Amino acid sequence: MTTGIENQSSGVRVVLDPTSERRPAKRERVPRPTTLDGLTVGLLDISKARGDVFLDRLEEKILGAGAHVKRFRKPTFTKPAPVDLRQEIATQCDAVVEALAD
């Protein structure tokens, strides 16, 4: 999970990485699709309580927009998603939503 903060004066978006990277890699933002119609959207449940409730409702909305949905779940919310899970999501989905319900 990353958090974005936008500097009001410059409009520059800074992405904070909570994994405690000492020297975070610079990454370009991937352009958002203009429509979900026909795309496959992955929904990643990070295994926190009630995250699935949010994703269930979101799935209804995404299906209504004409997209296909694939559901994924991390083994635990305390660690990053395993490499094989991230690879599976990256190869099977056009977009992804990661959700928690704190």
Asked if 75 and 82 touch (Cβ cutoff 8 Å), the reply is: yes
User: Mind listing the pLDDT tens digit for each residue in 6-41?
Assistant: 555 677 777 766 666 677 677 788 888 999 999 999
> Domains along the chain?
35-102 (3.40.50)
What does the pLDDT average to over 72-85? 92
For residues 21, 25, 26, 30, the Cα torsion angle rounded to the nearest 10 degrees is -100
Say yes or no to pLDDT of 94 above 70: yes
Nearest to 71 by CA among 36, 63, 79, 1: 63
* Average of per-residue pLDDT values in the chain: 84
Say yes or no to pLDDT of 84 above 90: yes
